[in-house]
Amino acid sequence: MTRRRLIFRTEQPFGRGFSMGDVVVLIGIAVLIYGGVRLALRAPETIEGPIISLSPRALPYYALRSLSRMMAAYILSLVFTLVYGRIAAYNRRAEQVLMPLLDVLQSVPILSFLPVVLLSLSAILPERTAAELASIVLIFTSQAWNMTFAWYQSLTTIPVELREASAIFRFNGWLRFKVLELPFAAISLLWNSMMSWAGGWFFLMAAEIFTVGQRDFRLPGLGAYLQEAANQGDTRAILWGVGALVLVIVALDQLVWRPLLAWADRFKLETVEGENPPTSWFYDLLRSAHVLEWLSQGVWRPLSERLDAWFIRRAGASGLETAQKGRPWLLYLLALLLGLGLAYGAVRAALMLTTVPASQWGEIGMGVLATLLRVSASLFIALAWTIPVGVAIGTNPRVANYLQPIVQVAASVPATALFPVFLLLIIGLPGGLNLAAVVLMLMGTQWYLLFNIIAGASAIPQDLKYTSALIGLSRWERWRTLVLPGLFPYIITGAITASGGAWNASIVAEHMEFGGRTLSTVGIGALIARATAAGDYPLLLAATLTMVLAVVLINRTLWRRLYRLAEERYRME
């Protein structure tokens, strides 16, 4: 009898060193920011904002507006994921460009681009349209990267025997996508979609309450409702708004995500059924509905068969690989044009940076250090409580039954929605806005750590747990020799995502308009916000690029080395 060895490894998107491709990507980001800044110079000086009603009757409308923005961004993210990840997985030449590009883009603090995107779009589009489009773009950039990595990872790890079976049955690109690739990646895509949706709430709320000086870019939605209620000190309206947000999140969990998890369980590659498969009362209810069965048999199945036949006629037997055979001179021409555009934009951006005085560069340096300290503090506080709680949930089914649903709902409530409430409580305490900024960063980072630690604790093999109990290890010895080494890769993964969320949160945590006052502290996020409000676009470009470079350097030096340590010393096989 042959024995198969199972190796549990963590995905390493940060495993590559700093290369010339990273330099090209960073130059491209600088050019995009410069182009946005040039457009921002033409933005209107004053933009009137919407009137936000605090009546509870307005909450269903605001909830619908927020949900529509989230749904539009998620659909855009899903389409991007399926196309981008598939090209990267099956075209080696494209993979050498697309994956490093994705690696850097996911390291970029998203909220640092919000002022530039809003002002540049408002220069060429109507103000309300620009604000709506900017919010969707912002949510998209918070959702797309981890979904794309998950899809790419699934495509590159499809078992050889399944690929051989698809070749024997002569599947073309469409049938291989529908019958093999999408089912194989369904569970991973679904879990990453849930995380992307939860993270998207944070950025949606930030987009709905954004103002730049005399330009009011607020959008009618739950975020604007909560901010307006906090500004007016209306505790009753705050409770109504938080209750509506929690109700929407719980409804999505019960009516969308749990049914999808129960449905996707059929795609697991296993020889025996799991002991505790996911269940959903709503999914069971839908399966028993005769109307849905009739729609499936009479409408969906014939439509699916016609769609398959159409794709089979249109697609060649080689599928995606056939589409990749093109004229190489066209790719070279596009690369040349792109290179010339990047070179021109880089020169123009460098000329703008030369106008930034030395004193402002000093402020940028101090701001990066101050924000780095707040990010570090929020990470240490999060680690202090997420490790014991995550292990308890991941290793004790009884605890998990009570705490996991609560944690899932709490993690989906965006920190930016509750921040006005916490600010009312904290602003009068010693430390003031510095303490409030750390609290907001903590609220936006702790859940990434907690969910990764839960996953790590759940992945510790049961036989190792039995062995540690049989040899009589004490609680501390068991933690030192089994739990912490097993958690280490997952802690690093969660810390990378959490630190990115903390840098993002600094844009709204270090500078804000609240109760008719402007509250600001030392930090790179506050500097970006103040430069935007004052129209100091060279400073905005310099501060944003410095923030991007700082995050990328930290990811490529600190986190890359920790990932390598996790791979070499703390993998279970």
Higher-confidence residue: 342 or 139? Answer: 139
Residue 119 near residue 212, CB atoms below 8 Å? yes
Instruction: Read off the pLDDT of each residue in 529-542 and give the average, rounded to a whole number.
Output: 81
Instruction: Read off the pLDDT of each residue in 96-117 and give the average, rounded to a whole number.
Output: 71
Report the pLDDT value the prediction gives residue 513, as an integer from 0 to 100: 67
Report the pLDDT value the prediction gives residue 9, as an integer from 0 to 100: 42
| Diameter of the chain measured on Cα atoms | 76
Report the pLDDT value the prediction gives residue 5, as an integer from 0 to 100: 39
Instruction: Read off the pLDDT of each residue in 426-433 and give the average, rounded to a whole number.
Output: 70
**CA of residue 77 relative to chain centroid, distance:** 10
Those residues whose C-beta lies under 8 Å from the C-beta of residue 85, and which sit 6 or more positions away, are: 148, 149, 151, 152, 155
Phi-psi region of 432 (alpha: psi -120 to 50; beta: other; left: phi over 0): left
Report the pLDDT value the prediction gives residue 433, as an integer from 0 to 100: 76
Report the pLDDT value the prediction gives residue 305, as an integer from 0 to 100: 75
Alpha-carbon span 330 to 334, nearest angstrom: 6
Return the CATH class of domain 355-573. mainly alpha
Instruction: Read off the pLDDT of each residue in 473-482 and give the average, rounded to a whole number.
Output: 82
User: CB neighbours (10 Å) of residue 394?
Assistant: 24
Per DSSP, the residues of 109-141 read -GGGGHHHHHHHHHHHS-HHHHHHHHHHHHHHH
Local structure of 234: helix, strand or coil: coil
Q: Is the pLDDT of residue 445 over 80?
A: no
Confidence of residue 79 (pLDDT cuts 50, 70, 90): very high
Q: Is the pLDDT of residue 1 over 60?
A: no
Alpha-carbon span 279 to 266, nearest angstrom: 12
Alpha-carbon span 316 to 564, nearest angstrom: 42
Q: Name the fold adopted by 61-267.
A: MetI-like fold (1.10.3720)
Alpha-carbon span 477 to 485, nearest angstrom: 12
- In degrees, to the nearest 5, what angle opens at C-alpha 274 toward C-alphas 268 and 275? 160
The pTM score is: 0.76
Instruction: Read off the pLDDT of each residue in 349-366 and give the average, rounded to a whole number.
Output: 89
Confidence of residue 65 (pLDDT cuts 50, 70, 90): very high
Local structure of 513: helix, strand or coil: strand
Report the pLDDT value the prediction gives residue 373, as an integer from 0 to 100: 93
Confidence of residue 64 (pLDDT cuts 50, 70, 90): very high
pLDDT digit string (tens) for 272-309? 454 556 677 888 888 887 777 777 777 777 877 777 77
| Summary mean pLDDT of the chain | 78
Report the pLDDT value the prediction gives residue 13, as an integer from 0 to 100: 43
Local structure of 572: helix, strand or coil: strand
Alpha-carbon span 174 to 319, nearest angstrom: 7
Report the pLDDT value the prediction gives residue 296, as an integer from 0 to 100: 74
Report the pLDDT value the prediction gives residue 112, as an integer from 0 to 100: 66
Report the pLDDT value the prediction gives residue 530, as an integer from 0 to 100: 83
Confidence of residue 2 (pLDDT cuts 50, 70, 90): very low
Report the pLDDT value the prediction gives residue 4, as an integer from 0 to 100: 39
Q: Is the pLDDT of residue 59 over 90?
A: yes
Instruction: Read off the pLDDT of each residue in 519-543 and give the average, rounded to a whole number.
Output: 83
Torsion (CA) 208, 212, 213, 219 in degrees, nearest 10: -20
Confidence of residue 384 (pLDDT cuts 50, 70, 90): very high
Confidence of residue 73 (pLDDT cuts 50, 70, 90): very high
Instruction: Read off the pLDDT of each residue in 211-223 and give the average, rounded to a whole number.
Output: 81
The 3-state DSSP composition of the chain as helix, strand, coil percent (nearest 5) reads: 80, 5, 20
Report the pLDDT value the prediction gives residue 66, as an integer from 0 to 100: 93
35, 349, 469 from 541: Cα distances, Å: 10, 8, 57
Q: Which of 132-141, 152-161, 328-337 has the lowest mean pLDDT?
A: 328-337
- The alpha carbon dihedral of 317, 320, 323, 324 has a sign of negative
pLDDT digit string (tens) for 6-43? 344 434 444 445 566 667 777 777 787 778 777 776 77
User: CB neighbours (10 Å) of residue 410?
Assistant: 15
Confidence of residue 199 (pLDDT cuts 50, 70, 90): confident
